Structure 1
């Protein structure tokens, strides 16, 4: 057989009540049989009972934390009973009168018993204190007055301690400071009421006829006291409402607003529970938001048929509902039973679009009173402030969403990426995630789409790309737009590089299909850089920077996807120092331009040179181009560096021409240079400055630089060709789409990559590749240059293939520009008729 659960708090409260009864017996026992202090106006217990019942019914209810505290003028009959009744009659009369009021108020048995025990102890304590004081000087009126005040103060202190003990049981918190303050300050009305009582006692002792004069005075006092009590309670309510208004105004989050609304509604209306109900889209389904005892919100969707009539009145008609304790209305009674409530106030929650739902406040604390019209008005004020706050919260939420999302694509922006990345790296550092990857994707040819079709179509392209990336990434990654045509992807729980690369390739494949724009299909490609945590960095800014370096490497290559390579990172201390010192060297002209001759295969006649930049560092010595050129590209120095090489190369050509030697010069252009909008104007300016014909300048580009952004590159090459410059494709044969793009490029020559030239003497595939390139160049009318020729045998093999020009150490090493003419003169003197001669 299951026994009902025992409420431990009730047991503790019951034990406190028994302790109070014991205290009453101990204090009042010695006074049993003692008569009244004055026989002039004898007061039997039943008269006192009536007096105490009347004064207990005219009370002010003050809320202390989660308990209702009652302040009354019961000190008035108490003082009269101290002087004109025996101690036993006083205790009995007060208990009977109080019990009658408690029964009328329908208080619970536990509360009734505890309060009666407290009244017994307080009455016994007051009587004991008075008799103790009078024992020192019997018959002294001033001492009797002092005893009455001391007894009232002692009774109040006992009540404060007992009440704090009960609150501690239910709230599990004892406010010692508040308790001491309450004892020290006391009940502000008690001294006044005790004084009035002593005045009545003194008047009656002087003349019984004066009692009739006291009736209107006391009536006015009671009425004034009740008015004061009402104003005090209203003032406290207004203060709480003001604090509530300020609190919800300072809470931008919807959850914070709801939490404060429900919490403050409970406190303002002295209620046990409060909840918000929002009408759902489905018939009969409502969303309920409740505030638990821990202060946390709980949500649920419920279908409560008993709510129908309340929601119809409140949500659909916009009215308020007051369901008082003891209602006889069947619908109200059923609704209270369904919610296990005794009483309720229900008011509408209004938003900018109308009534959103309802605010429910259930079960007023204490048994002294039920909800009334004033509580409805207060609840409506709470709901009105809540509606404004919720509306403002929605606005703040929208603003916050806009601050974290891209306005065009709706994707998360850089700020949200950084927040997500910080959280991901924290989980990696804590061992809760094996790793994370950041990918930056840069579209190729986006500027041309904007220029050709307009910004509206360019924006549409970005929206489509964002959607494709999101679909390709799925739930495994966060896709964001950084700005312009740059996107970023954050992938968590990435265990290794292969997993990141697979995701990166999937993202690039998502862009392969043409995008329909303005009646045409536009091809879109991208370059993707990947950085991994913790392998490459453990800080958000550092990881993003490494992903950015990787995407630049991807744009410079033909593969379209690169994982960050620490061996070429510019964050290396040596490279960081080089970036600073290279800037100084470029701006102060400390770099040198060397040239390497190119000769006709058939005759050996030198017809052109290739310009090569050289840097001799004051501390590090010779720094190779393969080290400082990438530094220049990543630090934004490639433009000034290219201008310096072009300027010095054309100056050298002009000097040679003035000396009677007409040679052309070839200058390499990097991928970044081809994306420089001022490149064509800068070349034209320098040609004009040095007076060099445009056909004496050959500009070399690599297949990788062309493939990084074909549309933009081909457009720039056409403009350079229109100037009259010659164009060459360097390192030809190493790209995967050489043949398909060669026919589209406005070039004049191709340079066979030296990796194929150095292997000619071994035969095999290299011979076939070189012959194929030479034949292709011949059919397309292009000059074919072989670089990396290091011996006569290779020269001869190239002559057999029909190659046009050669370049390499077998002809000459790179030399300073002012050393070229002496070298040419020496070469002519030593071997005037040989087609080729090893460099001196």
Structure 2
């Protein structure tokens, strides 16, 4: 009797990267072009028969020159210089075209596969590119040169032309691969690269012509040429090694001085990671610390702009493998480029790295953590033993500056606690809340409550007594909340004057009792600067599982209850469904906004700004517009708060910044040197990745930082002034201009204004529109203008609707105006035609009065 049939084998799904297919197609196309162009040359003999170079000798020469490349390091850039063009020049004169191409391909294939261990696709692409370059070089050389003597000037010109054009073919081929993997390469750098090419190429070609001329005079010169070439290469390598060693020692000395004099952990870590990255000529550096008993990893990474970013998380399998290798063994680890080790390859693939070095950070109690440096600059060199020794030296100096327990606790405390009050922050609240709601038995959500507190009248304290006293008030409120709640809950500062309390296992009665206790504690006056200040608050409570079973919804509904308590003056309110009647509509709007961010429904319009002295337009303000397919135009006042509450404000800000900088780049290409102003929301000022994102977008669009102005409101800064001002200073360090929007409507004061690293103030249009009819508004505008001018700030007025207001503002000393009298908001594409029409009208008009605007959209 036959047994059961075996199970059919499982088929593995092969995932094909479309980009790899395109690269392979590009290689086939280049190879086809090489064959097509090279067929007519296959039967041609060598141009000069004085010295004949066979294909096998050329292959050896090409392999030798590619194996002995020279590396030139300039700052953070690494350039590899090959003298293979010297062999190309000799082959043009003393080898048949077929032998030259065959020798080049064979020698290069050996280096790519054996020495550099390139992938099959990369090897095939490089060989196809080289074959096309060789055929182009030979074709141009033979076309321009009909003289068989290597000493003739025409032969020199032909050889130079062939090699230089072939070099440009290589540049364009590489640009094609960049376009496939990274999108369209920037046009300006590409044109510059095509114009300049490899800077070392003319020098190498000249040396090749000298060698060819010498061989034409006497074949015996080959001995002298080989000796001189080897001597130059050895001398350069010795000089480069000595220079690199000298620079490294100098940097280590300065690094040791820097960390020994720095008491701040952030400064020490920044110096350690920056030095590790620069000394090893690498792209990235990070420090990884492990909690007690193999807990979560705390990562500190040095960003592209020099900022430190932190993250926490449990280690994955590949990370645990590296930690076991370095921390348990206490030995350094090198993951070389092209490694065959399966574990090393897995780690590199997971982290998107080509190569890496990891060394332990030691302390008196053992290994504290790991410093990891990845991606050696350049395409040829990988990390070597000397790099490991250098990184170990950096780690040794870092160990002196870092303390084991203090470092880890401070890193985690800073990431999860508020700097002013020392209370846990929103991140820790969300983590604890998520842990609470996921700790129950299957099918049962644990009980708990969230209480959100917003202080009443906190702005008055700031305005009357100053921000220092306001900060003291927040600290005192934090102390009272902790005393009131005790060990029964977690007290959190959410930002600004908003606090939260998480009560684990609390029911409705317990949560309400805690809320009443908090309000009672707040009624006791606080002594600030000799003045007794009465404090009150509004509290909202949401319960789990009655009101929500996930952290985001529970916090949101506690927030809804708090706003109802503030609106009604009750002081304390429990969430009820009828308090949030627009919740379904708002959720629908969130979903539609998320979809609109991926379509063209959200667009950027611009409104010109003109200088009052000459009427010229040198800048515009970006205004976001949402044209809903069914609801029509939705006001920014409606959808921007939705974006902030739903977490979509980051994506919306990225879209506006990207579109605005793309418009500036387009205008600059058209000869219009215009800058643009973009508004930032209060949530954007709390985004730690904003600075890196702005820097990357500026670089991507090739726009100078000074062409971008970022506008913030006074209220958005004061929501969390410590973090906001720190972020604004980092943006200012990039070269971006900063402006305070709606100035005069918020926390305006001289002491506040002096703290901000700003370039201009923007007078709110509520003071400008009726200033000719309301003397009080004129006085405010004059005061703000005088204040701005005395502080060296540019002053912008918006809401200018007639020529008389324009003239009055100019007389007061306002620098720039914006409003309907100049132009209404318009699309990006309409700006340049509008500017041309305005200049035409200005030439024909007897006075410099701006032309009447054309209605191009809803005003800002």
Give the TM-score normalised by the residue count of structure 1. 0.45
The higher radius of gyration belongs to 1
Give the TM-score normalised by the residue count of structure 2. 0.44
